Structure formats: structure tokens, C-alpha cells
Amino acid sequence: MKIKMTLIGTVMVLMAAHQGSRACTNLIITRGASSDGSVMITYAADSHTRYGSIAFYPAADHAPGTACEIYHYENGKFLGTIPEVAHTYSVVQFMNEHQVAIGETTFGGLDSLQSQPGAFLDYGSLMRIALQRSQTARQAIKVITDLVAQYGYASSGESFSVSDKNEAWILEMIGKGKYEKGAVWVALRIPDGTVSGHANQARITTFPFQKQNNWDDSTQEVYHSPDVISFALKQGFYSGPETAFSFSDVYNPVTFGGARFCDARVWSFFRKINGKIRDNEDHTRYALGQFDRDARYPDRSANPNRFVTNRLPLWVKPDEPVTLEQVMAGMRDHYEETPLDMRNDPGAGPFRLPYRWRPMEFTVDGVTYLNERAVATQQTGYSFVAQSRPWLPDPIGGIFWFGVDDADGCVYAPMYCGIHTIPESYARGNGSMITWSETSAFWTFSQVNNWAYTRYDMIHPEIEEYQAEWEKRFRGEVAVTDQQASALWQKNPSEAVDYVTAYSVYSGDLLVSAWKKFYHYLFMKYTDGNLKATEGHQLKDNGNGKNIPPSPKFPGYGREWERIMIQGTGERLKVPAAH
């Protein structure tokens, strides 16, 4: 049956919790939409307590009776065990040796479905286990949904990006709360040649209902729980006809926050690659949180319940093939050149800072205001672009481009998906959010980014230039490494894996070492609000050979901000004409 969006009365949606602590962003690029024929998904792990490092799970064989231990992805608490399978694949954070990758964003959903008594499989554990047990995206979706059916679901509503070297999917799932064990869910294959994304708002609305999930049928493009509709009817979450059912509108109805804080991030990326989205005023108003509720949807079908009709499409076709560089740039977005551009209001300060310190909402004189929530944000623990390339052997074909801290100031370092060792600077256990490490990639990049926040208009352009230099270097090196590793693969696959491991470890540690020196340079150049003369990434001597710099420049606040500074001060800051 063709499912239509429909209205569910008033419901309580836990927007504040996931906007503040688990507000992440995923972009999805299919093979036919990418410039090189690869599949790409992204993920920003945005949390004020999330530390950026790479977890590694080696491939292993397991004896019968072995237990798979479950630890909560966010707080590390031991939750329980499930039986282990005979063989598990190696996993580099959220990409495995077969080029399968998974990302997620939390949408929360209906209040009564936020927790499930007795369940202990949280979304992060499901992602890790699925990668350890799957060779394709479809297999990963089946692993996740089979596990929650058997053991229950211990998280709130989630959107998952699931990809392999051929396909990309979006899986949306929410638990059944106290009512029943398990979850209701829908998975859709993103059509080849299109781009999708999600950012803490459920995105699946219409979908063709299937009588059964045929996991062996490579042409099936929709999977869902058999009770995705009947459960909502049974519990009173929905009372309309089955033909008018919509997953998002029933289980995570869009609100002002769902559009402005969440879907607006997807809109910002879509408009960069698709002129129709860019020029569509209806979608712009939706991103601003301004809703239309017309009697008919844009396709002219009836909308008897007056749902929001100017929502973003689930996927769009890009005007031109999307490059890896564009995808990385999409993760660094602050709504530049859009009506939500964060650089131009007083909150940006004198140096056009596109960040706003939390909380996301504040009240002045009884009126509530907001701080924008862009893709790039200061509280990112790590982000990645998982690139799956079908023309190479799996351990060589998958590149896990990994960056730590704020994506706008990170460098995406290439980690081949088949590696067996993680660079020491990125390894789990090398520092934490409460433990300093001088060799930690996270703290090294965090130092640079936090220093940039103090004088963004001058410091960040230098970061951006150096960032581009390193990523261009890595792209060139990867092309050469691909060739060398592929040749080795023909002779000895284990030697090829050793080769890409050595390259990933070397490049990651080299980057962090260089970035630490870069921080020292930036700190000395801009300390005390001054601007010292430099050449390259070295500070100049005044010519006397005594390590004394020339007299620095004093860039000040800029004319526009100086006008703001004197507003309301009367005569207090005014210098007399004769003094």
C-alpha cells in the first residue's frame, strides 16, 4: 500500500535532550551521485562529553558459549551479554573490513517509547555488533532488527545510515516502550544517483508497505517491522486509515525544533548541491521552522490531517556529481550564505565567530530566543566520512576518513578499513575527556580550535589553508597507496593489509605531530590580541638575531564592532577633543 503522511494529535517529544547532548549529523551519498563511483556516509558524534578516538575490534573466531559483552556507547556502563557468533569481522570505529559503515542521529520520538524495561542493547552497541557480523548493508540492517526483536531496544528513536560498497540505506527505529519487547522500524534504500541525510529528526514519511522482508532479494528496496503500523493503531498513537500512515508523523512528529535545530542542517547541505532546493522558498521557510499545512501535498495527493506540506524530500539528485571534498565541506557548514548565516549577528562577536555557546535556548524579558545549531559545532567528539570503493579489494577499498573535535577545524586522516593497528595518537585510551595527553589527536586539535574561537576571522583562515594542504596531500598519497596495495594483494593479501596499516598509522601520527607544532605557531602569533610578523609557519626575528620579533600589529575590533561598543555608553568612552 502507498503510505501517506498524516497527523497524530499532541504528543510529547524529547527534543531538548537529544538537541543538547546527542545532536549529530549524517550525510549519505550513493554511488551514482558521487564523482568517483564510491558510496559515502558521514557522521558527527556531537556531545559535550564525547572524546575523539578510534575504537578497534580485531577479527576473531569464537568458541561455542562465548559471550559478547555489551557496554553502553555513551556512558560506558556494563549492560549485559548476548551469545557471540563463530566469527566476527574487524571494525575500525564504525566501518568494517568489508567496507560496511554505519552512522546515526538520535531523534527521540514519543515520550512513552523512550525506554523499555529489561532491554540492554543500546544503539551504539547495535552498530558495533552489526559491523562485526555483516558483509553488506542489508545484512547489517537484519542483524540490528533481529537483535532488538530478541533482546529489546534500550535507546530512544534513532535514524541510522547504513552503507556498503554498492548501496546506502536509512533505517529508522524506535522502541516499543513498556508495551512490548522490541522496536518498530522502517529501512529504505537511497536510490542510486541521489543524496540523503538526517540530523536528529525522523525523515521517513511515505513508504510502500511490504507483506514480508525477503533479505535474499537484492531488488527489495524497503524493509520494515511487520507491526510498524499495527503497533501504532493498537496503542492509540494513530487512529487513521492504514493507507494514511507515516513513520515520522506518527513516531516523531516534526516540531519547530525538529525543523530549525535538526532538518535545517540537511537543508543546508541539500541547497549546496541542488539548485531546486536552494531556490525553493517553501523549503527555506521550513528550515526556519515556518510550516505550511495545505490540503494537498506537493504531489497533489490529499492531506486530510493538514500535516506539514513543505518538508524536505528524503533524498535529492545533485546537479553535479558530489566530490569527497564537497562531502567534507558539508560537515564544516555553519549555514554560510543562507538566511541562518551565523557570522553576521551580534552573537558572532567582533570576529564573526560562527558558534554559539550552549544552552540552545535562552529567555530575555520573558521571551525565549534560540542559538542556531549548525552541522559544524564546538562539541563534536569526532566525525568521519566513510568511503566505500567497489573497484578495490575490501580491506583496501574502504577509507575511514577520521577527524577529531570540531569538524570545521579537523583534518580528515585516511584510515584504511582493513588495518590491524590504530595510530597511537588516535587510539582509545590515549587521553580522555578528563585525562590530558600530550600525544592525543583530540587534545591537539582541540587546542587549535579553541584558540581559533578567540579570533576566528584571522586564525581560522590559516587553519583552513593548512587543513586543505593536508587533505590534498592525503588524497594524493591514498591514490599511490591504492596502487601499491592492490599490486601486493595479487601476491599476498596479508602483505597488502600490512602496507595500508603502516601507511594509516604513519600518516595519522605525522599529522598530529605537525598539528601540535602548528598550534605553537598560532599561539605565539596571535597571543595577547597582537599580530606578529611571520614567514610560512615561523615567526620573524626583528633582524638583530636575538629572537625578538618586530613590533606587532594591533588588529583591534573592526569598525562595525567599534560602533556597537560605544552604543549606550554616553560620554564614558569618549576622548575629549583636546587631551
246, three cell numbers: 507515516
- Give yes or no: residues 495 and 418 share one domain: yes
Note whether residue 7 is domain-resident.
no
What's the rounded mean pLDDT across residues 256-274?
Answer: 98
What's the rounded mean pLDDT across residues 82-90?
Answer: 98
The predicted-structure confidence for 387-415, as pLDDT tens digits, reads as follows: 999 999 999 999 999 999 999 999 999 99
- Give yes or no: residues 337 and 415 share one domain: no
Note whether residue 270 is domain-resident.
yes
CA distances from 487 to 394, 452, 475 (A): 14, 43, 19
- Give yes or no: residues 135 and 83 share one domain: yes
What range defines the domain where residue 446 resides? 392-430+437-529
- Give yes or no: residues 359 and 415 share one domain: no
Note whether residue 550 is domain-resident.
no
250 touches 5 (CB < 8 A): no
- Give yes or no: residues 252 and 148 share one domain: yes
Q: Are strands 183-189 and 534-535 parallel, antiparallel or unpaired?
A: unpaired
CA distances from 458 to 225, 353, 452, 455, 464 (A): 52, 10, 8, 6, 11
- Give yes or no: residues 157 and 210 share one domain: yes
pLDDT, position 165: 98
Residues sharing a CB contact under 8 Å with residue 120, sequence separation 6 or more, in sequence order: 70, 79, 80, 151, 152, 154
Categorize the per-residue pLDDT at 22 as very low, low, confident or very high, splitting at 50, 70 and 90.
Answer: low
The predicted-structure confidence for 96-150, as pLDDT tens digits, reads as follows: 999 999 999 999 999 999 999 999 999 999 999 999 999 999 999 999 999 999 9
What is the rounded average pLDDT for all residues in the chain? Answer: 94
pLDDT, position 20: 41
pLDDT of 13 higher than 80 = no
Global confidence as pTM: 0.94
pLDDT, position 297: 82
- Give yes or no: residues 317 and 418 share one domain: no
Amino acid at 364: V
Closest by Cα among 193, 191, 183 to 207: 191
pLDDT of 21 higher than 60 = no
Beta-carbon count within 10 A of 211 CB: 6
The DSSP secondary-structure symbol of 309 reads: S
- Give yes or no: residues 421 and 347 share one domain: no
496 three-class SS: helix
pLDDT of 201 higher than 60 = yes
- Give yes or no: residues 204 and 313 share one domain: yes
CA dist., res. 376 & res. 46, Å (int) = 9
Domain count, the chain: 2
| H or E segment and range at residue 441 | helix 441-454
The DSSP secondary-structure symbol of 34 reads: B
Strand partners, 56: 92
CA dist., res. 246 & res. 206, Å (int) = 6
Note whether residue 552 is domain-resident.
no
Categorize the per-residue pLDDT at 476 as very low, low, confident or very high, splitting at 50, 70 and 90.
Answer: very high
For the chain, percent of residues with pLDDT exceeding 70: 96
Preceding omega of 339 cis (within 30 degrees of 0): no
- Give yes or no: residues 226 and 304 share one domain: yes
Mark 48-69 as b/e (b = at least 16 C-beta within 10 Å).
Answer: eebbbbbebbeeeeeeeeeebe
Note whether residue 563 is domain-resident.
no
pLDDT, position 17: 37
108 touches 156 (CB < 8 A): yes
The predicted-structure confidence for 231-254, as pLDDT tens digits, reads as follows: 999 999 998 778 778 999 999 999
Note whether residue 571 is domain-resident.
no
pLDDT, position 16: 38
Note whether residue 87 is domain-resident.
yes
What's the rounded mean pLDDT across residues 192-205?
Answer: 98
**Which sign, positive or negative, has the C-alpha torsion 353, 359, 361, 362?**
negative
- Give yes or no: residues 333 and 399 share one domain: no
pLDDT of 2 higher than 60 = no
pLDDT, position 303: 75
What's the rounded mean pLDDT across residues 503-523?
Answer: 98
CA dist., res. 232 & res. 237, Å (int) = 5
Closest by Cα among 505, 402, 438 to 53: 402
What's the rounded mean pLDDT across residues 440-447?
Answer: 98
Vertex 204 angle, CA 389 and 109, to 5°:
115
Note whether residue 175 is domain-resident.
yes
Count of all residues that appear for the chain in the document: 579
- As a whole number of Å, the end-to-end CA separation of the chain is 83
289, three cell numbers: 521552522
Categorize the per-residue pLDDT at 206 as very low, low, confident or very high, splitting at 50, 70 and 90.
Answer: confident
- Give yes or no: residues 187 and 324 share one domain: yes
Beta strands in 192-236 (DSSP E): 195-198, 222-224
